[in-house]
Amino acid sequence: MKSVKNGKTQVEIAQCDITKEHTDAIVNAANSHLEHGGGVALAISKAGGPIINKESRKYVKNHGTVPTGEVAVTSGGDLQARYVIHTVGPIWGEGDEDKKLYNAFYNSLAKADDLGVKSISFPAVSSGIYGFPKERCAKIFFETIEHYFKENESDLELIRMCLYSKSDYEIFKKVMEERFE
CATH no. for residue 37? 3.40.220.10
Q: What is the pLDDT of residues 125-165, one digit of tens each?
A: 999 999 999 999 999 999 999 999 999 999 999 999 999 99
β-bridge mates for residue 4, sequence order: 11
How far apart are alpha carbons 16 and 174 in whole angstroms?
Answer: 17
User: pTM of the entire structure?
Assistant: 0.96
Report which secondary-structure segment, H or E, holds 123. Answer: none
In contact, 127 and 133? CB cutoff 8 Å: yes
Instruction: Give 3 or 94, the one with higher predicted confidence.
Output: 94
Going by pLDDT thresholds of 50, 70 and 90, the confidence category of residue 30 is very high
Structural domain for 88, as ranges: 2-180
Residue ranges with strand state E in 16-70: 25-30
pLDDT at 180: 81
Residue ranges with strand state E in 69-111: 71-75, 83-88
How far apart are alpha carbons 72 and 57 in whole angstroms?
Answer: 11
Give the total number of structural domains in the chain. Answer: 1
How far apart are alpha carbons 133 and 22 in whole angstroms?
Answer: 28
Q: Minimal CA–CA distance to 108: which of 91, 127, 89, 95?
A: 89
pLDDT at 1: 83
Region of residue 53 (left: phi > 0; alpha: psi -120 to 50; beta: else): alpha
